[in-house]
Amino acid sequence: MPDADRGAFAGREPADQSSFGATRVRYTPGVEEPEVPARRGWFITVEGPDGAGKTTQAEALADHLRQRGIDVLLTREPGGTALGERVRELLLNGGDAAVATDPQTDALLFNAARRQLVVDVLRPALSRGRTVVCARYADSTLAYQGYGAGVPLDRLRALEASATEGLTPDLTVLLDLSVEAGLGRKGAEEITRFEEFDLSFHRRVRNGFLALAAASPKRFVVIDAARPPDEVAAAVNAAADRLVGSGEPKPVAARTTG
């Protein structure tokens, strides 16, 4: 993502820093489950293989929901917190031999960044009634490190449970696209370590996303991302409108299984 686009994804809920002096090592303040507020937000994730247009579509969806009067926080994985953005640089840096390439190490790092996002940004926003649109979330680890790189899915689900404590999206929009079309859309400046993997890896990732969608048809909506961006956006908006029109979101406290 170009630097100019980062601002849109950088929105974070401020953590309570009051009990930490400037000279001390900072740990995440203790997590206190908030009282269940009157309003709760929807949690929507946008997933898909490389080049499917997640960034564009997540931004367009956030705009659409804001036009409906909904308070939206737009964020992304890996990223969305200071730690997450640093993990992003570390993990995506193409061609850097110092970066780990063991897929389970990758999974641990993605989940470390995820946990920080859940604690610092997602839960506070949702419990204040904000709707969150997040480009990538836990399904990406299952697709890339699981289906793509062969880490057993049950191991990844255990890491996910630890990172998210059961915070699951209300809606996951899967932008589906052939591997050839997706990789063909990427500019040279967008090439990360993951695009350097072979085509069969990316095919397993795509098929992994489709398998995840087939296993959770209530949560997923699969959209053909080969169509023009405005048609894709209309389909994404329609899926979000169905969700938002379907009733009240669950209380955030009820989304904790850990």
By CB under 6 A, name the binding residues for ligand ATM. 50, 77-78, 92, 110, 136, 140-141, 144-145, 192, 194-195
Place of tokens 């992304």: 76
Both tokens of 14, joined, read 């401020």
- Rounded to whole angstroms, the Cα distance separating 215 from 57 reads 24
> Which residue, 127 or 141, is less far from ligand ATM as judged by CB?
141
CB of 67 to ligand ATM, least distance (A): 25
- What are the C-alpha distances in Å from 220 to residues 101, 176, 216, 243? 30, 12, 6, 11
CB of 234 to ligand ATM, least distance (A): 22
DSSP 167-201: ---SEEEEEE--HHHHHHT--GGG--GGGGS-HHH
Which DSSP letter does residue 63 get?
H
CB of 55 to ligand ATM, least distance (A): 7
> Which residue, 73 or 134, is less far from ligand ATM as judged by CB?
134
Q: Which ranges of 38-128 would DSSP assign to H, the alpha helix? A: 54-67, 82-92, 103-117, 123-127
Strand order in the sheet with 220-224: 72-76, 131-135, 43-47, 171-176, 220-224
> Which residue, 33 or 89, is less far from ligand ATM as judged by CB?
89
- Rounded to whole angstroms, the Cα distance separating 31 from 164 reads 13
> Which residue, 175 or 240, is less far from ligand ATM as judged by CB?
175
> Which residue, 210 or 244, is less far from ligand ATM as judged by CB?
210
